[in-house]
Amino acid sequence: VPEAREFMTHRCVDIVLTDLQLPGESGLTLLDWVRRTAPHTARILMTATTRIEDAVHAINQAQVHRMVLKPWRCEDLLQTLRGVARTILLERSHEQLLDELRQLNLELEQRVAERTRELELALAQLQLKNQFLEKMALTDPLTSLANLRAAKQIARKELLRRKRTQEPLTLILIDADHFGQVNKLYSQVAGDQVLVWLAGVLQNSIRGADSLGRVGGEEFEVVAPGTDAAGAAALAERLRSNVENGVKVFDGQPIRMTISLGLAVVEPAVPAEYDQLRQIAADALKEAKASGRNRAVIRVLAPAATSE
């Protein structure tokens, strides 16, 4: 361990892989030192424990990027290292692109100051680049779908619009069933490819007026304006059956998936807020998963009953 610290003091290291049990100290202590000394270095912890308390401690103290459980297979470990390396390369590419865009913006500002006759062209170019940065901030890098931030914006915009139109609206939360088994049985690379495939199937299953976003690891959200309970049931079945009947081939092996869906339907003229609908959909999704998965549970937000 002292040799590792000495080495990292004079050299840049991309990935540190360590066992939880080290001679004289805990691997978490070393990874915490790495986090403080070289925050851009990826940290991977190997451990034989599966206690949730240890995982929480590793995440909170050393902020590990990955945990590898023993006994491990060489192939799985290599896949984990390759996945971490790919993430590092993507982050560096992203940072490099942002630096280049910042430099371009600076150059454009200088050109505007020096040559006012090119002001309109320079401002147009700057606007395009800012739009590109904004799009990057709202896009899931793996699936190219709207990310959580963008999905919330879309849903709230549709809810504001329906205040004027007084039409129904459906919010759907979708979770890939047993997705962790894909990473475990095939590799994280396979898991990423399955998520991209799943995003494509879901996108092809909704209408042009609907919006799809990736709001979690294997969780997606659909906003379907103008969709009542009957339309929601039809949409949910189309999404479910298209995924169940599809297949993703990875490394010559077919991978089949199912999804669970929780739907919140708000009827015409019924007031509703995004957080309220999302909680209703989340509860419905929880029920769908608890009752066997590969199914949809629909809950309708209807007008409150009035007494004579």
The catalytic site residues sit at 218
Structure tokens belonging to residue 85? 């390396």
Q: What angle, 0 to 180 degrees and rounded to 10, lies between the N-to-C axes of helices 188-203 and 74-114?
A: 60
CA count, 13 A, side-chain hemisphere, 57: 12
Contacts of 236 (CB under 8 A, 6+ apart): 172, 261, 263, 296, 298
- Counting other chains too, the contacts that 281-286 makes at CB distance below 8 Å and 24 or more residues apart are 281/171, 281/172, 281/173, 282/173, 284/173, 285/173, 285/174, 285/175, 285/260, 285/261, 286/262
CA 100-117-115 angle, 5° bins:
55
**Whole-Å CA distances, 118 to 112, 122, 127, 189:** 6, 6, 14, 47
Cis previous bond, 71, omega within 30? yes
